[in-house]
Each structure stands twice: as C-alpha cells, then as structure tokens.
Amino acid sequence: MDCSLIRTLINRYCAGEENWVDNRTIYVGHREPPSGTEAYIPQRYPDNRIVSSKYTFWNFVPKNLFEQFRRIANFYFLIIFLVQLIIDTPTSPVTSGLPLFFVITVTAIKQGYEDWLRHKADNAMNQCPVHFIQHGKLVRKQSRKLRVGDILMVKENETFPCDLIFLSSSRGDGTCFVTTASLDGESSHKTYYAVQDTKAFHNEQDIDALHATIECEQPQPDLYKFVGRINVYHDRNEPIARPLGSENLLLRGATLKNTERIFGVAIYTGMETKMALNYQSKSQKRSAVEKSMNVFLVVYLCILISKALINTTLKYVWQSEPFNDEPWYNQKTDSARKRNLILRAFTDFLAFMVLFNYIIPVSMYVTVEMQKFLGSYFLTWDEEMFDEDTGEGPLVNTSDLNEELGQVEYVFTDKTGTLTENNMEFIECCIEGHVYIPHVICNGQILHDCSGIDMIDSSPGGSGKEREELFFRALCLCHTVQVKEDDNIDGLKKAQLSERSCVYISSSPDEVALVEGIQRLGYTYLRMKDNFMEILNPKNDIERFELLEILSFDSVRRRMSVIVRSVAGDIFLFCKGADSSIFPRVIEGKIDQIRSRVERNAVEGLRTLCVAYKKFTRKEYDSVCKLLQNAKIALHDREKKLAEAYEQIEKDLILLGATAVEDQLQEKAADTIEALQKAGIKVWVLTGDKMETAAATCYACKLFRRNTQLLELTTKKIEEQSLHDVLFDLSKTVLKHSGNLTRDNFSGLSTDMQDYGLIIDGAALSLIMKPREDGSSGNYRERFLEICRNCSAVLCCRMAPLQKAQIVKLIKLSKEHPITLAIGDGANDVSMILEAHVGIGITGKEGRQAARNSDYAIPKFKHLKKMLLVHGHFYYVRISELVQYFFYKNVCFIFPQFLYQFFCGFSQQPLYDTAYLTLYNISFTSLPILLYSLMEQHVSTDMLKREPSLYRDIAKNALLRWRVFIYWTFLGLFDAVVFFFGAYFLFDNTTVTSNGQMFGNWTFGTLVFTVLVFTVTLKLALDTHYWTWINHFVIWGSLLFYIIFSLLWGGIIWPFLSYQRMYYVFMQTLSSGPAWLGIILLITVSLLPDVLKTVLCRQLWPTATERTQIMSRHCRDHNSEFTPLSSLKNPRYRSNDYSNSPDRRSNSHSKKMMFTHWRGNDYSILPSIFGYSNNRCNSSARYCYSGSGLETSV
C-alpha cells in the first residue's frame, strides 16, 4: 500500500512549519544547473489537463447514487422501498419504488447532462495546440501534454495555456499587455514585466540556452499574489537572484494583447493553476425556507411514527379477542402462531410505516429544485434590470437563495462604485494653501462651461513655485497609468488633450482622473519608455525621469510611492495617499492649511488625497535599494518584510498639497435606499473612506435625513473618553425614546420621530471586537449591538476588508439572527459578500471579483430595489405556498388511509389502488403547484414597487411560521375527515346503483380519491390571483388527465397485472347519480371553511397586502413610485422627484445647496464665485434656503 499521501499530510500538518518548506524548485527548460552549484532534484508535477467534470464513465452511477442518497428524504424512501421488498407489506414496492426511481432518474439525467457538457469543454481546452521550445526549435503539441519547466511561446490574442513566468517579449522594453477578463472580468490592458536578466532573449536559440532555476511558493488560489525568485546562472559563477512577483506571472485564461509574442516558462500546470484552484465552490448557503422545510419534515416524520405506533397498538388490542384474531375464514398456521410477539409487532409497525409513508412528500424536493432553477430565469429576463450603458443584465450564480431575497433585514453596502458611480472627476488641488480649479474633464470629455485655470488666493512666490512644480510632477509620476494611443481602446473614446491624443488606462479611476486633471493644469504624462517616464511641461519641454522603484498601493498602508531619478541625477520619492496615512509621516509643509482644506472638501463629499515627497542622497538611495531587494527576494513572509521596508522608507516626508476628486452619486441610489428603509430594511454603509466624505455621501443618498441625529463612535471620541463611557452615553441616548417608539417599525417617513444615525470607524470597531483582559468581549459587543438596533442607519468608515466581514458576521450571529445582504463591486468587498446570507456583486469598474464571488450580480445599485421588493417578494411567497401546499395535500391524501384502519380491523388494507398511490404526487397534483410557484402574483409588480411597506408582511419568515403551518395541517386534517366520513355516511347501507348493487371497498376508495384530487386542485385554483392560459391549461388539464387515466385504468383488462380489482370501478361510480351528488357536495364542504376564513379575515383583519389589493382597484394613478396610497390625500405631501442625472458640482451655473447636520451645527454649502463657501445656519431657525443639490433638499 502506498502511504506517501498519508506521510505527506502528517509531515505537512503535524511536523511544524520549519520541517515543511512551502515552495518548489523548477528547472527552466528541464536543464540541470551547472555542476557544483546545487543538487539536481527532479520533481514530479501534474500534467496540464484541466478536469472540471465531476464524474467519469465508470464512476457516474455509484457516485451519483451516493450523492443523491445522502439527501435524507431519498434515503428514507429507499429504506421504505427495501422494507416493502423484505417483508409482506400492504402495498406493492412499486408504490414507493416508482416515485423514488422517477426522482433519482430525473436528477441523474440533469446532472449527467451538465457533466457531459463539462467533459466536452475540458476536451476542447486540453487538446488545443501550443508551441514550446525543444532543442532550440519550436515544436507544436497538445496543451494537456505540457509539463512544469517547459518554455512556451504565446502569440498575440492567444490565451495562456498554463501559469507562466514571463521571460521575454517582442517589445524592446520587456513588457507585454494582457487582459484578464476571463479571470476577474477586468477588460483593461494590464502591463506585465519580463525578468530583468532574460528580457533581451528574443529568439528560440537564446531562450533555449538559458540556465536558470525558479523557486516559488506552492500553488494557491489568490489571483493577485505570487512570491518567488529566479536564479540565473552565467557559466560557473554564482547565480544572480531576481525577485518574482505577480507582475511577472502570466495566468492561465488571460489573453495576450498588443504584443507580437512572448516567451515564458510553465510553473503551475493543470489543476494547480490559479484559475483551476478558483474552480472550488464556495461554502454552501442554506435559506431560511429550506431550514423551515427540514423542520416540518421532522414534524411529519414524528406524525408518521405516531400513526404507525397507534395503529400497531390498537391492532393488538383489537386482536386480544380470539374471534377477532382468528376469524373462521382466516385461520393462522402453526408457524404463524409460534412467531415471537415482539417480532410480529415490529413487522406490523414497519408495515404501517410503509402504508402511511406518503405523508412525507418525496417529490417536494424535486419540485422545489425545479421551481428555484426555472424561477431564476425570471430575474435574468427582467428587461428593467438590464443596463444599456454596460450592455449587461442581472446574473444568478446560485438559485438556492432566491426566496432569501424576500427575507432581508439588513443591507450592508459599499460606497465607492456601489452608491457612487466610481466615475471620478478632478475638481481641485491645493498646493501650499493655494487652490487650483482646472477645466472640467471626465473620461476624456471636456465640459465647455468652465474657463481656464482659476487661481484662488494669490499666486505662490519663490519657493512656492518650486513646490508647485514638484506637486504637478508628483501626480504625473506617482501612478500606474498606461497610455494608449489607439483611436479606441476598450470602449473609451480618444480625448483631445493639448496637441496629443492619449487615452489613459488604469485599474483605478482615481488615478486616471488625477492625471487628466493635472493635464489641464499644464503637465501631461506622455508615456513610459525603456523604464523612463516622460512628461510634457507647460513650456512644451519633455522631461524624463527614470523609474527606480514602485512602492505599490495596498488597503492597509492606504498610500503608494515611486522613487525616480531626474536627468540631473536628483533622486525623489513621491508619495500620495489618504490623509490619515500621509499626515503622520510629514515633518514639513503647510500642514494646517492643507488639513483644513482637506476636511472642508471631505464635508462636501469629495474624495481627497494628499501628496508628499522627500529627496534622497546617493548613499541613502543605496541603503533603500538594498533594503527593498532583501525584502523582495524573500520567499517567506515577503509581504510582511516589504511592509516593514515601506514603513522605514516612507517617513520624514515634506507635504506638497492635496487633491479633491468627485465621485458622482449613482442614478436613483437615494430612491433605492428610501424604498429599502420603507420596506423595514436597515441599511449600513461600510467604506474605507474618511468619515466626513462618507457622511456627506450618506446625506446625499438619503441614508441620513435632516432630522437624523448623528452619534459618533470614533477614535477621537474614545481618546476623549473611555470606550466604556462612550458606549454607555450612546446607549443612554438612543434608549431614552425606546419606551414610546418602536425602532423596528421605522419607515423613514415620519418627521416627528427622532432618528439616530451611528458613525463608527475601523479603529473603534477593533476595540469593540478585541477581547478584554478578563477574556470577555461580549459586554461591549452587546452594548454596541443594542445601540445599532435603535439607529435607523449606520455608517462604518475607515473599514478594512476583513472588518467589513466582521461587522456582517456580528449582526448575522446576534440573538435575533436576522437575514443579511451584502452588496459591493470590488475585491475588497468579497469577504463581506461571502459572509452575508445573500451576497450581491455589482459589475462595476473595479473588476469582477465581487460579481464572481457573489450569489447574484446586478449592473447598478438601483436594481437592488426591484430585486428585493418585487422578485424577492414573489420568490418567497411562491415557495412558501409550495411548501405548505405540499404538506397539506399529503395530509389530505394519507389521513383517510389512517381512518380506514379503524374500519378494517387494522389489517393494513390500503384504501387506494396502487396506481393512485404511485401517481398522486408524480402526475395528478404536481404540475399545478409547480406552475403556481412560478407565475403567481398576488399583488402586481407596479404595486410592490409603489408600496415598499408590503415587504414587511413577509418579513421574518412570516408565511412559514408555526401558526401558519398548523393552520395548513389542520385544514388538511379537516378535509381528510370530510372526504372519508362524508363518503362513509353518505353511502352507508344504501343501494346506490340502478340494479341494487352496493359499493365495494375499491369503489369507496376511488370515490374518496376523486374528491381528494378535485379538492386539492380547486383549493389551488381559489388561491390563484394571477391567471394565465398556462394556469388554466395545467389546472383543468390535470383534472382531465385524472379522469381519462381512471377511465383507461378501469376500462381495460391489463394483461401485465396479476389482479383486476379496479376493472369497471370508476365507470360504475360515475354511473351513479348519488355518487355525482356526493362528489360535488363533499368538494364544496371541504373548500367552504377555507373560503369563509379568507373572506372574514379579509374584511375584519386585513393585512397590508390585502388592503393594497382592495385599494388598487380604486386608485390607479400615483404621483410617485414611492408615494404611499394613504398619503395621497395628505396636503403636506410633496413629491420628492429627482432627475435621472444628479447635479454635478462642476456645473458652476447650477443653483444648489448642501445641508449637513454636523457636530451640533447645521451647515448649508452654497456656491460662490470661485468655488463653494460654508455658511452656518442656526438649527433652530424656522426657515432655511431650499433647493436641489448634491445632497438632500431642505
């Protein structure tokens, strides 16, 4: 037995970190290193085959059956089927085996077909031709035959067949352009860099002569992280070690663009590539409906066992009299008399379990799966949720959570790119206290309503002029922008900038906005050539700077830096980043003036960045270079060592200035949040932005309102008071109104109720989540949750991605266990999207990482309104009715069988024929409920959009509560009693045929079954509000199919049956007038209580939905999409209508005002000649200026 796998696992997980090295060594071109340098240890790696399929031809049947019988209902019916085969049961094994076989077969065919498609796609991918170098020549072979260490050549527009280290390219500077749309959805061209020592190898012979080894980490799924180094050997000298990072790694699935060809060495192949490792499915999420369904199944299983126990006990009680035990016509054999009593009782118990097992609906699982799968198409087909700008509609990555969209209680949303457009526009820059406003330019489009450079304040003199030029150069150099000179690139139009035509491309819209804005101030970034960055100054002179190092941006540092060398030999470090990360590191500059400008711009909702620099001597730069090099070539803890190096380098800076960029609010974002709040959903904004910027955006999108009192739980507050005192004061403030106000009923409409909005930052959250010295953190968390529950909205700013997930988890696991939804558009939102019950990604400008990891994806935030209030509402109502109806119709079906045992001596005699037992759930009653659960609309779509409060009627799993479940169960019991005893008393001791014949037991059972099928089908017809021809066809067609089947089943002597007990039974029943009268009467009596209950409750205790249904018949015209019908007569009502395009701050002629309640004062921000000035108005004033603006109207 090969124990290598076990040994590897033990070494890996038990031996400790120091005994297991998490890296691999690859020999480039399979060439051994020069003798005497290092030992040549050949290693085995998988080939390049991709296997996304689940099954093979040989394991499909056993593996698929194993997976299906892991489902408890399937396993239960398998046990019942085996019991029927083993012991003498009252029903044929076919009655359990056929439905089970049908369910298993349908599921297996569906899964087999899906897997066959995966096999087909795998074969096409594995057999595509690739070119690799062998003995200095290009050789062509299939992709699946590639091995780690092979050197490949990839041509323009070809896809990389495996993960490659980039060695050289046809471009002189050793770069190539790549699109990763198939990996993360980003269509922009990304630049990758060849290894410094190999980029000069441009032909096959040079590459084949390369002696090198690569040491890198073992495969892991993170697309944006890679750590390695390459050792290049020259003759017998010591190898030259070069660091390798993600900028050198070309991923499988990415496509080469605008580069003739590249050479690379395979390091990860097949199922070890990063793309394949990302195939792994996310953790399974289960909806509240599914959990309720499983609980109800357990209840019905207990009812089933109770029925079997009762009947078994009563059977032996009844048989205690000798005549009942052995009547003259059914004498027992000697062996039967000698059988053990306990064994006989157990066998009878199993027989009763088999007889009553149909109370557990095996077909419900299949119907629910079909309903979810088919129902998801209604979302993707919704034309109103299609975005014409991007050409994309909603995507459903999992249909298992459709109904969860109707149960959301908390929405956690990102700000940038989700509430805002992520469409940045450069507004102004502040240099040494002097403010500059350029021409307005956005995405290459010049807006012509602005003049040239507006110099606010006086022009700088002497040293100020030098700082000004350094500031502009810093913004032209400190970025990762690419310049493309094509007429059209990725849908972006060419901008006519100065005399050059350039299109700037970057993964960050902020960087493009800054480079474009600075261009209007006279400094144009031209290109990067041979590692030199070229800029055009206002004198039309081209300045060249050698790019020495890039200190990349990350969400922890919140800044980036570049080290460049000018032609004169001066070495500069330019750094830009968030004010919180720049100000602590500056030692010189006009800090107070710039800080005040930054705070002012943040209050206006602008995104701010600070810019600083420092100058290196040659000696200082050498030490910096050595420090970075040591960190870069480290294989272990490289990120930690780089972070420590960056921290040492980026200090003692000189502050130059700050920039302000506007991120436009998304269309209808405010209306969407308003609708969600009316629906009883609490909206939290989680963002990495600074507090003032995020707060201004929250006012603009109506998360905070004029009467919202803001409460702060920030680092500044905690520095003034202890965390315990701050939490106590906030709790005291929000709870003082809890005696007469119910926060859960907050609708966002009342102007009399005091609303509270909480602002918390990342540092304060860390203190709350941090365990205390005594080991308990629960007290702070509970107090924090209590405050949040009583706030109408919460803003969490300065949040790291992991903290976003912590917030979601904290609310998700609170004692109320609310259903949470997280929505975002960037990679930093993935953690909270995966953590929430429902994750929604926006296909925005920050790539597709969020959309790829989400359960659903939508083009814009505004589509969330219809997704929840309409589709979510319908999904939940439909599937709730489906689940309750399935249990109801099975109670109606099996309870008469239970009652029948009291009249047949508990002999396990079935009431219904085998065919009826088998086809009841499969054919006679399955299609109507499936179509109902797909098409029912108890309220119109327009009404649901107009009345968001209707969402409250279904909140907290309202339609699957125990009260509703018990009502449906008792309704089923009542109907079953009516079926059985109605037929029993109606025809007891009565001749019902013209020739005097009496009905037999099969006629009696057929009569009960006929009433049953018609009653449960007509019950569904009465519950249907939205009739289409499909509903008519399925409902009346099912009844017609039952009649035709019964006529055929009883009208022909079937040769394959060993019995003919149903021959002519159905025809004889229908030939009797009393039978017709009885069927009609029993159906009417069965349906009457439910009809009366519905009518009385609708008149006496109507729900909001029922009131809306009544009022909708009288009111068809509405002023606003969100206007409550009850408020139409209110004279104070005023429409809050907004135009589709929010006013832009850059429009200098717009009349606008921004109202902000901040730290006890009301600020109205009004336009001035050059910009905006802050005017404070007394919050107790009776009247204030009102107008449309960037934020809420007053």
Residues 424 and 443: beta-carbon distance below 8 Å: no
Please list, in sequence order, all residues whose beta carbon lies within 8 angstroms of the beta carbon of residue 500, skipping any fewer than 6 positions away: 524, 526, 536
Q: Under a CB-based contact definition with an 8 Å cutoff, are residues 841 and 857 in contact?
A: yes
Question: Which strand ranges, in their side-by-side order, compose the sheet holding 482-484?
Answer: 482-484, 500-505, 495-497
Type of residue numbered 707 = N
Contacts of 1102 (CB under 8 A, 6+ apart): 1110
Distance (Å, whole) CA 1081 – CA 1084: 5
Measured at the alpha carbon of residue 871, what is the angle toward residues 870 and 872, in degrees to the nearest 5?
95
Residues 537, 539, 540, 541, CA torsion sign:
negative
Which residue intervals of 901-959 are DSSP H helices? 914-919, 926-935, 941-946
* Distance between CA atoms of residues 1174 and 1184, nearest Å: 14
Comparing C-alpha atoms, which of 303, 522, 418 is closest to residue 851? 418
* H helices, E strands: number in the chain: 38, 43
Coil, strand or helix: which one is 128?
coil
Residue in 507, 508, 525 with CA at minimum distance from that of residue 516: 525
Judging by DSSP bridges, how do beta strands 708-713 and 755-761 pair with one another? parallel
Count the Cβ atoms, other than its own, within 10 Å of residue 95: 28
Q: What is the DSSP string of 357-377?
A: GGGS-THHHHHHHHHHHHHHH
Looking only at the bridges linking them, the beta strands covering 1172-1177 and 1161-1167 are antiparallel
257 close to 170: Cβ distance less than 8 angstroms? no
How many CB atoms within 10 Å of residue 714?
18
Distance CA 493, CA 515 (A): 16
CA 1069 to chain CA centroid, Å, is: 56
Distance in angstroms (rounded) separating the CA atoms of residues 644 and 638? 10
Q: State the distance between the two ends of the chain, measured CA to CA, in whole angstroms.
A: 79
User: What is the 8-class DSSP label of residue 771?
Assistant: P
Single-letter code of the amino acid located at 403: E
Angle formed at CA 1133 by CA 1128 and CA 1137, multiple of 5 degrees: 100
Spot the catalytic one: 163, 414, 755, 855: 414
Instruction: In whole angstroms, give the CA distance from residue 165 to residue 874.
Output: 51
Active site residue 88: no
Distance CA 598, CA 478 (A): 20
Distance CA 327, CA 305 (A): 29
Contact yes or no for 430/517 (Cβ under 8 A): no
Q: Are strands 175-180 and 492-493 parallel, antiparallel or unpaired?
A: unpaired
952 vs 591: CA distance, rounded Å: 51
| Inter-residue contact 884 to 325 (CB < 8 Å) | no
CA dist., res. 327 & res. 323, Å (int): 5
Which backbone phi and psi does 652 adopt, to 5 degrees?
Answer: 55, 50
Which residue is listed with tokens 């009433």? 1011
> Under a CB-based contact definition with an 8 Å cutoff, are residues 167 and 133 in contact?
no
Residues with a known catalytic role: 414
